[in-house]
Chains A and B, each alone.
Chain A
C-alpha cells in the first residue's frame, strides 16, 4: 500500500483525522515492524508485546514528532530501541553474568513453537545470537531485509562506514561459527 507520508503525518496530528490515520499507519507498517522486532527478540509473544508498545508510543507522541526523519525511520527507530530495552531487561533479570542475552535468546529459539527452520537455518540463528545485539541488527537489516546502508544509518544513527565494518565482522563471525559447528 503506497502511503503519502507527509499527508499521513498531518492527519495523525489532526484531532479529527487521527484515529483513521492511525489505522492506516498500523496496517501499512505492522508486518515490516513485526519481522524487524522478531528477528531481534526471536520469541513471538515478546515481539507482539513490543510491537504494541511501539504503536502505543507512536499514538502518545505523534504530536511531538519533529519530522526531521521520515515516518518509516522514526517507527523503526522506536521499534529497535524498544527491542534493545527489552533485551536489557532480560539481562538484568538473568542470574548468570556472562552472555546473559545470548542464553535468553537461545532458550527462546529452542522453545519457540513458531520456528519452522531446518537444522542449518537454526544454526544460522544460533550464530546470529552470539553476535552483539547491535551487530546482529545490522546483519538482519542488510542480509535479510536488504536495506541500503544509508537507510540503516538513519535508523540506527550510525555512520555508513561503521555499518559496513560491523556487517563485515558479523559475516566473518557467522562463517566461523558455522564451520565450527558443522555436523
Chain B
C-alpha cells in the first residue's frame, strides 16, 4: 500500500474509482422541470395551510365564546329568564296591588281544603303530587318567581 504526505492511497489504487451506479435515461435533463413542479405544489400547499390555520383560530375563538356563554347561563340562570316576568316580579306597585299573589294570603288549611275540593279528596289524603299540581294550576310564573 502506497503512502504519501497528503493521504494514504488505497491499495487497490484507481481500480475501484469507476462509478458503478447509473441513472435513468434523461434523468438530469428532466430534473429541473420536476423540481419546479414540486416547488409550485409546495407553495400552493403553504397558502392552503395558512388559510386553514387562520380558519381554525377563528373557530376556536368562536367555540370559546359559546362555551363562556353556556357557563354563564348555568351559573346565573336568573339573568336569562323572560324579561317581562322579571320586570313584573320586580314591580313593587304590581306586587302591592296583587298582594304578592293569592297563595301567600291563604293559610295552609285553606290551601289543603281547596285541593281536596277540586280533586274531591279528603284533606288528610292529599299527596305531594296533588299539592304541586294545585300550585301549578293556580299560580302564574310571576307569583312563583316573586316568592323565590
Contact = CB atoms under 8 A, between A and B. Distances in A.
A121 B17 CA distance: 9
A121 B1 CA distance: 19
Interface stretch (B35-43, B93-101, B120-128, B132-140): B35-43
B34 A114 contact: no
A38 interface: yes
A144 B15 CA distance: 11
A168 B4 CA distance: 12
Contacts of B19: 35, 144
A167 B8 contact: yes
B22 to A, nearest CB: 5
A150 to B, nearest CB: 11
Contacts of B27: 48
B20 A115 contact: yes
Interface in B27-58: 27-28, 31-32, 34-35, 38-39, 42
B28 A34 contact: yes
A26 interface: yes
A118 B12 CA distance: 15
A143 interface: yes
A115 B38 contact: no
Contacts of A115: 20-22
Given A26-B32, A26-B35, A30-B28, A114 B10 contact: no
A117 B20 CA distance: 4
Given A167-B7, A167-B8, A44 B23 contact: yes
B16 interface: yes
A92 interface: no
B77 interface: no
What is the predominant secondary structure among interface residues of chain A facing chain B?
A: helix
Contacts of A65: none
B38 A52 contact: yes
B22 A116 contact: yes
A174 B16 CA distance: 12
A168 B8 contact: yes
Contacts of B35: 26, 52, 55-56
A117 B15 CA distance: 12
Given A56-B38, A171-B8, A171-B10, A23 B20 contact: no
A121 B16 contact: yes
A34 B23 contact: yes
A59 B21 contact: no
B17 A114 contact: no
Contacts of B20: 115-118, 121-122, 125
A167 B6 CA distance: 12
B11 A175 contact: yes
Given A38-B21, A116-B20, A144-B17, A26 B7 contact: no
26 contacts: A23-B32, A26-B31, A30-B31, A30-B32, A31-B28, A34-B23, A39-B21, A44-B21, A44-B23, A51-B31, A52-B34, A52-B38, A56-B39, A56-B42, A114-B21, A117-B18, A120-B15, A121-B16, A121-B18, A122-B20, A124-B12, A125-B20, A143-B10, A144-B19, A167-B7, A171-B8
